[in-house]
């Protein structure tokens, strides 16, 4: 039963048959568990060929000559295409957002044309009948390079003596921005204590289990292009493929079936993918590109390479007065198209210190080009850095003042009744719950008991650390995220929902599924709003020919924005169904409701099933009045209007043990309290938190893209690049606080990224909490054993 109140615009989600708030299982998980998923590399089309790429072995090199005659004669080779040839088919792209003022980047082509600007940049495409034959021939392509000096170190990128990566620019500067409330210097001067530190975050990457893959199928007969893509934003890709290849957008169809992990990695424009589309156009046949793992490490976007200098001023009681940060990041030779590589830095400026109530804030961000693989948005963009920096500084101040970290936070977190609230960086918070989350976290952790155990163990030479973090998360973004900057990425999303002739419900949504449970929660919402069983709802995603135009899944927007569109569409369809019901049952709409798939007179069980109602509408229209036309398909859209972003918040705790002889950090347990507004499916929210936290753990302790001084990525294999494994991971305890957003009827905020955003801060604080009695401190991530031993002075 759905009890939507037209006057208050609220829905009773606690009604007896509501699916919202229930941990129902995911119907599509059964298919995946039986190996019946369909990932891009599983798809085979008639006349399909495979492309492999010759990639630059140098960080920076002029392409002198390409000799492919020998390779072209090898078995199975269909065509060998250079960057210059691809450039004749593809319009270049520039990855800047106009609202990030002053941002610049050079035009980029799918394959390097005159010079290669990072190790791994695709240079030549080799098309053959099998992937293996394409790889054989790619090895036989001879490219003469003239190696050029490379700009690698972000710290030196702006020095006049550094090689300039784009000769049309006067320096390697991509973007810079400042935020200043004006009173930071005065506050620092008047403060009881100012703590300072420089915190470094290593480059890491997403390591999706399914590497990037694309299958492009151009059909010259009807000038159509069908692209099977593993991604998160089908309509964005549709626009890019159409505009870059000069095709009619409505003849470009993007199909996204199962996606083997994405996390933001698969939402960008990769030259090798656009080139595969161009090759399909050139060859008039299907072309598949499936990256191997080495290519993934060299070309999937990296993220997080930031150096942040921070100063925090507090008064005698530990009240934070002012925060200042200076963020520097190197993003590779281009800003990534179309989302730009300025967003992570921009987020850090917007978010750092966001949970706290200080009034003075000054931030400077500098984004520079360098000859390394490109960096761009990966799960929780900027949040892990913003959170870790602020939480580290708050803990440093607390330690100097002799305050417990929990008490320090209680004194400084924005009060739960202070909303709406505007942060010193200009962010507007609708309604957050920092104190309730922190209180719940401390209770969940049994914090005081942990502190006692910690003290006892220290006497025995065991160094345990307890770390806390409070955080905010950007979710449900409005057009102020990308649309305002000129990027063709929809902030609105839509749902088309219909009652089929057999009485079942089909809902098509513009947001996508990568295993997080999108299709499940949409079915929960539709079933609840309509008053039907979830099993009779089918959800369609990931096909630009079949779903309303939408943004897809990123920035924790699917549940909050896509879900509201589903809710509104469902309510509208219900209204239409009840109108039909009123005609058939000869009563008024207000007397009717839908309960368990049946249109009934309120308070009774009498009425007709949706199957019967649909049968009459679709087959026996002669039984309806001549002036009445049932409409059993409706579409509704939704965008966030009142706020730029609907922030969520939460708190995390970490318990770990540091082996002071080996430097190894052993995670013992983690806790997470997340307020993502209305929880549609508690189990799925918890699993997003757990999976997200483990990715945060990866960045904090293990994951690092290591480059040598010639710009060679040293650990581009799964054996050398460390990701979290089952044996090292702790159990993670999750709990919820619910502050539904009033920007929608559904009230849901996003939940996909908070785990990743909060974990690195809690972990670094826990390590420092363990090391503090030894007078040691770490301030860089990943916190490897070497970093710990250096901090302890045991390694020089």
Partner 1 sequence: MNAPAETVEIALTVNGERVKHTVPARMNLADFLRIELELTGTHVGCEHGVCGACTVRVDGEIVRGCLLFACQADGCKVDTVEGLSDSREIEELQSAFVLTNALQCGFCTPGILMAAQALLRDLPNPTREQIREYLSGNYCRCTGYQAIVDAIEAVAKARVSRSK
- Which residues are near partner 1 by CB under 8 A? 25-26, 29-39, 41-42, 44, 74-75, 132, 136, 139-140, 206-211, 258-263, 292-293, 514-517, 683-684, 687, 690-695, 717-719, 723-727, 729, 731-732
What is the Cα Rg of the chain in Å?
Answer: 28
Contacts of 418 (CB under 8 A, 6+ apart): 357
Return the number of the residue (235 or 690) whose C-beta is nearest partner 1: 690
Q: Considering the complex, what minimum distance in angstroms separates the CB of residue 750 from partner 1?
A: 16
Question: Of 42 and 326, which CB lies nearer to partner 1 in the complex structure?
Answer: 42
Q: Which is nearer to partner 1, 427 or 444 (CB)?
A: 444
Nearer to partner 1, 324 or 703 (CB): 703
CB 781 → partner 1: shortest distance, Å? 18
CA-closest candidate to residue 567, choices 17, 10, 15, 21: 10
Q: Which two tokens stand for residue 597?
A: 């798939």
Min CB(740)–partner 1 separation in Å = 23
- DSSP bridge pairs for 128: 50, 77
Q: How far is the CB of 145 from partner 1 (least distance, A)?
A: 20
- Calpha distance 263→303 (Å, rounded): 12
Q: Which is nearer to partner 1, 40 or 188 (CB)?
A: 40
Contact predicate 26/254, CB 8 Å:
no
Nearer Cβ to partner 1 (592/656): 656
Nearer to partner 1, 38 or 606 (CB): 38
Count CA within 13 A, CB hemisphere, residue 206.
26
**Nearest to partner 1 of 15, 733 (CB atom):** 733
In this complex, which beta carbon is closest to partner 1, that of residue 478 or of residue 512? 512
HSE, side-chain direction, 13 A CA sphere, residue 468: 32
Q: Least distance from C-beta 476 to partner 1, angstroms?
A: 21
CA–CA–CA angle 413, 304, 262 (5° rounding): 100
Name the strand (E) or helix (H) holding 428.
Answer: strand 428-429
Token readout for 40 is 């891009």
Q: Kindly state the smallest distance separating residue 672's Cβ from partner 1, in Å.
A: 11
Q: Are 19 and 12 in contact (CB under 8 A)?
A: no
Helices 447-459 + 434-445 axis angle, to 10: 50
Q: How far is the CB of 190 from partner 1 (least distance, A)?
A: 45
Nearest CA to 673 out of 645, 649, 646, 700 is that of 649
What is the DSSP code (8-state) at residue 610?
H
User: CA 574 to CA 126: how far, in whole Å?
Assistant: 54
3-state secondary structure of 586: coil
- Quote the least distance from Cβ 692 to partner 1, whole Å: 8
- Judged by beta carbon, residue 162 or residue 258, the one nearer partner 1 is 258
| φ and ψ of 429, to 5 deg | -105, 130
| Residue 386, SS3 per DSSP | helix
Taking the least distance from each CB to partner 1, the nearer of 626 and 727 is 727
Work out how close the CB of 227 gets to partner 1 at its nearest, in angstroms, rounded to a whole number. 19
What lies within 8 Å, CB to CB, of 568 at 6+ separation is 495, 636, 637, 638, 745
Helix (H) or strand (E) holding 198: strand 193-201
Q: Could you count the other beta carbons within 10 Å of the beta carbon of residue 503?
A: 17
CB of 258 to partner 1, least distance (A): 7
Residue whose CB is less far from partner 1, 133 or 395: 133
Per-residue burial over 362-383, b if 16 or more Cβ lie within 10 Å, else e, is bbbbbbbbbbbbbbbbbbbbbb
CA distance 296 to 285: 25
Residue 156 DSSP symbol: G
Place of tokens 């001067």: 189
Measured from the CB of residue 295, what is the shortest distance to partner 1 in angstroms?
11
What's the closest the beta carbon of residue 240 comes to partner 1, in angstroms? Answer: 23
């Amino acid at each position: 039963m759905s009890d939507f109140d037209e006057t208050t615009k609220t829905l009773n989600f606690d009604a007896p048959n509501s699916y919202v708030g229930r941990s129902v299982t995911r119907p599509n998980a059964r298919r995946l568990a039986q190996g019946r998923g369909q990932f891009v590399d599983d798809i085979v089309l008639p006349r399909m060929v495979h492309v492999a790429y010759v990639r630059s072995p140098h960080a920076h090199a002029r392409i002198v000559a390409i000799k492919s005659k020998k390779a072209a004669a090898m078995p199975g080779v269909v065509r060998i295409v250079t960057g210059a040839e691809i450039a004749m088919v593809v319009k270049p792209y520039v990855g800047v957002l106009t609202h990030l003022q002053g941002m610049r980047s050079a035009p980029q082509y799918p394959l390097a044309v005159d010079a290669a600007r990072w190790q791994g940049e695709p240079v030549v495409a080799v098309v053959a009948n099998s992937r293996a034959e394409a790889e054989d021939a790619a090895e036989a392509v001879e490219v003469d390079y003239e190696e050029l000096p490379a700009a690698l170190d972000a710290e030196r990128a702006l020095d006049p003596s550094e090689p300039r990566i784009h000769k049309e620019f006067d320096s390697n500067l991509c973007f810079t921005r400042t935020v200043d409330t004006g009173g930071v210097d005065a506050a620092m001067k008047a403060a009881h204590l100012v703590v300072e530190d420089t915190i470094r975050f290593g480059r890491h990457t997403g390591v999706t289990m399914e590497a990037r893959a694309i299958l492009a199928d151009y059909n010259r007969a009807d000038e159509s292009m069908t692209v099977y893509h593993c991604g998160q934003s089908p309509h964005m890709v549709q626009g890019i493929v159409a505009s870059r290849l000069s095709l009619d957008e409505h003849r470009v169809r993007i199909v996204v079936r199962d996606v083997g992990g994405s996390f933001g990695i698969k939402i960008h424009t990769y030259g090798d993918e656009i080139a595969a589309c161009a090759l399909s156009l050139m060859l008039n046949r299907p072309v598949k590109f499936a990256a191997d793992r080495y290519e993934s490490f060299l070309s999937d976007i990296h993220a997080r390479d930031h150096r942040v200098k921070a100063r925090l001023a507090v008064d005698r009681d530990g009240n934070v007065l002012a925060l200042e940060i200076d963020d520097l990041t190197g993003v590779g030779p281009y800003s990534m198209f179309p989302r730009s590589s300025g967003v992570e830095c921009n987020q850090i400026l917007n978010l750092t210190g966001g949970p706290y109530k200080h009034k003075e804030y000054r931030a400077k961000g500098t984004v520079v080009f360098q000859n390394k693989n490109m960096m761009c948005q990966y799960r929780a963009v900027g949040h892990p850095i913003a959170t870790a920096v602020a939480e580290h500084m708050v803990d440093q101040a607390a330690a100097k003042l002799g305050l417990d970290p929990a008490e320090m936070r209680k004194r400084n977190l924005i009060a739960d009744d202070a909303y709406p609230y505007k942060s010193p960086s200009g962010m507007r918070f609708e309604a957050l719950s920092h104190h309730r989350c922190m209180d719940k976290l401390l209770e969940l952790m049994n914090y005081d008991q942990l502190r006692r155990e910690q003290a006892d163990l220290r006497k025995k030479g065991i160094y345990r650390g307890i770390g806390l973090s409070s955080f905010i998360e950007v979710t449900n973004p409005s057009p102020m995220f990308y649309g305002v900057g000129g990027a063709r990425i929809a902030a609105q999303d839509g749902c088309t929902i219909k009652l089929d002739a057999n009485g079942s419900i089909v809902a098509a949504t513009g947001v996508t599924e990568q295993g997080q449970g999108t299709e499940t929660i949409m079915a929960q919402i539709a079933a609840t709003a309509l008053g039907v069983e979830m099993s009779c709802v089918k959800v369609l995603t990931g096909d630009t020919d079949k779903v309303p135009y939408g943004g897809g899944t990123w920035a924790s927007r699917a549940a909050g924005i896509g879900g509201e569109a589903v809710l509104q569409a469902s309510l509208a369809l219900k209204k239409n169904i009840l109108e039909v019901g009123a005609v058939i049952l000869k009563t008024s709409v207000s007397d009717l409701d839908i309960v368990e798939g049946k249109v009934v007179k309120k308070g009774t069980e009498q009425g007709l099933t949706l199957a019967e109602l649909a049968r009459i509408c679709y087959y026996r229209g002669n039984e309806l009045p001549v002036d009445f036309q049932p409409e059993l398909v409706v579409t509704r859209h939704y965008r966030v209007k009142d706020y730029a972003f609907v922030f969520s918040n939460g708190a995390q705790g970490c318990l770990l043990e540091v082996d002071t002889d080996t430097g190894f950090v052993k995670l013992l347990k983690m806790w997470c309290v997340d307020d993502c507004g209305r929880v549609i499916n508690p189990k799925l929210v918890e699993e997003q938190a757990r999976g997200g936290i483990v990715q945060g753990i990866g960045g904090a302790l293990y994951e690092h893209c290591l480059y040598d001084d010639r710009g060679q990525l040293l650990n581009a294999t799964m054996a050398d690049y460390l990701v979290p494994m089952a044996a090292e991971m702790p159990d993670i305890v999750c709990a919820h606080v619910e502050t539904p957003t009033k920007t929608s009827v559904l009230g849901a905020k996003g939940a996909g990224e908070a785990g990743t955003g909060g974990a690195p801060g809690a972990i670094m604080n826990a390590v420092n909490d363990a090391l503090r009695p030894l007078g040691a401190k770490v301030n860089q991530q990943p916190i490897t054993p070497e970093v710990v031993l250096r901090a302890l002075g045991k390694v020089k």
